[in-house]
Chain A
Amino acid sequence: MMAALAGVPDAPKPTLATCSLTGCFGCHMSLLDIDERLLELVDLVDLDRSPFDDKKTFDRLVDVGFIEGGCSNEYNVAELRDFRKNCRILVSVGACAINGGVPAMRNSISLRDCLESVYLNGASLDGPGMIPNDPDLPLLLDRVYPSHEIVRIDYFLPGCPPSGDAMWEGLKALLTGEEPELPYQLCKYE
C-alpha cells in the first residue's frame, strides 16, 4: 500500500498523524531534532492530526500514526483507539509507548497508595489534602499500559527518546514502503 503510493508519480503524499499520551513530548522533540532533514520530511509527508499543527480530530484515513506515551487514563485509551481506527500503520514510538516508561514506575504500587502518598500524606502538604476528583479529570487506570496491550501495533521504534536519526530512518522507511530496520547504533531501549 505504502510502496504503491511511493512508486506512483503525482500520487498524493502519505499522511502522518502523531499524538502524545502519557509521555513527556520528548519523542516529538526528537522528531524535530532531525535538523535540515525537516525540509525533506515536508516533501515526503503531509502532516495530519498532530500536536505540531494542533489538529485535534481525524477526518480521513491516515497512512502512518506515531504513538508517544503509554496509557495511564481513560482519555489516553480513547485517543489510542481513535488512532488505531484511523491509521493504516500504527507505530509505538519510545519507551513510554513500548513499556510505560517512567510513568510506569507506579505500576508496582497500588493506585490508591500512590494517590494517598502524594495528595493526603505528602511531606510538602500544607494542611489536609484531598485526592483530585474533578469530573473533568480523566479517570486514572490501575496502572500504566503499553500501547500494544490496548490496540494492535504494527511497528516499534525504541528509545527514550529514539534519536533524531532513529526517527528519521524509521519514518523514512515507513513512508517509502520499506521495512524499518534500525542499524545497531540507532536501536536503543534508553
Chain B
Amino acid sequence: MAAEPIRFTIDDVEITALEGQSIIEACDAAGIYIPRLCHHPELEPSGNCRVCTCKVNGRNSATCVTPAAHGMSIENNTKELNDDRRMIIEMLFVEGNHPCPYCVASGNCELQALGYRLGMQAPKEVYQWPDRGIDATHPDIYLDHDRCILCSRCIRASRMEDGKTVFGFSGRGITMRLNIDATGGLGETQMAAIDKAARVCPVACIVIKRDSYRVPNGQRRFDLAPIGSDIEARRKQVKS
C-alpha cells in the first residue's frame, strides 16, 4: 500500500514531505528557510542550538529533530521566534570571543551571518571574555576554543563521517567544552585537514592553517546575500 503523502503548512505555505524527513529537511527542499546553526545537511541532526525552533501546532520544537508529520501547522518567520533566535545568537557572541574585524571566518561565518539575517546590530549582554586557550599542536589545523559555540558538528562529523572520534564534549552547562581525544592536543590525534570534521565548523574554532584570507572582502560566502538565500532560491524554482 502506498504511503499517504505528508502535507503540512509552514507560515501558511503548504509543503509536501517525504517519509522520514525532518521538518527542516522538507522545508529546505521546498525552498523555505528556517534559521539554524548546529544543523548541517550532511550530518546527523543533534538539536542542541535551538535556533531552528519553530512553533509546531502551537508548541516550540527544534525542527531539525522533529519528523515532518501530516497536518502539522508550523510558524517559522514570526517576530517572536526571530527575537528568540537573535537572543541565542547574542548570547553565543558574548559567551565566546568573536572579534569579527580580525577573525579569519568573517564573511564566511554562520554565527555572524545569522546575526545579520536576524537584525542583530550588537550583542547587548555582558561579555564573558573567556580564556579557554588555543591548540596549535597540529601541523595543518588550529583550534581556538574561545570561538567554539558547542554546535557539535565536528563531533558528529568525526564520529560518523571520518570514523575517528577525535572530538567530544566535556563538562556540562556553562562549563561545557569541546574536548580532544588526546592529552597532548590535536597534533596527537589522527585528525587530517581533509577530514569532514575540519570542514564543517560554522565559526573560526577549527581553522585550516595557511588557508585563510584567500577570498577577498566582498566575494565571501555571505558578503552579498544573507544566509539562507540559496535555500530560498529553490522556492522560486519550485514555484516557477
Contact = CB atoms under 8 A, between A and B. Distances in A.
A4 interface: no
Interface residues of B, number: 25
B102 A189 contact: no
A143 to B, nearest CB: 7
Nearest to B97: A108
Interface of B: 97, 99-103, 106-107, 112, 115-116, 121-124, 126-127, 129-131, 146, 223-226
B121 A157 contact: yes
A99 B121 contact: no
A185 to B, nearest CB: 7
Interface residues of A, number: 27
B121 A155 contact: yes
Judged by DSSP, the binding face of B is loop
Nearest to B123: A99
Judged by DSSP, the binding face of A is mixed
B116 A187 contact: yes
Contact of A95 (B100, B112, B127, B225): B100
Given A108-B129, A108-B130, A190 B106 contact: yes
Contacts of A99: 99, 122-123, 127
B122 A92 contact: yes
A102 B102 contact: yes
Contacts of B106: 189-190
A190 B122 contact: no
A69 interface: no
B221 to A, nearest CB: 14
Interface in A134-162: 143, 146, 148-149, 155-158, 160
A190 B124 contact: no
Given A189-B100, A190-B100, A158 B121 contact: yes
B126 A104 contact: no
A100 interface: yes
A160 B146 contact: no
Given A104-B99, A157-B121, A189-B112, 6 more contacts: A108-B97, A108-B130, A148-B122, A156-B121, A160-B100, A189-B116
Contact of B131 (A108, A189, A190): A108
A107 interface: yes
B116 A184 contact: yes
Given A107-B129, A108-B129, A189-B115, A148 B101 contact: no
Contacts of B121: 155-158, 187
A101 interface: yes
B100 A146 contact: no
A11 interface: no
A98 interface: yes
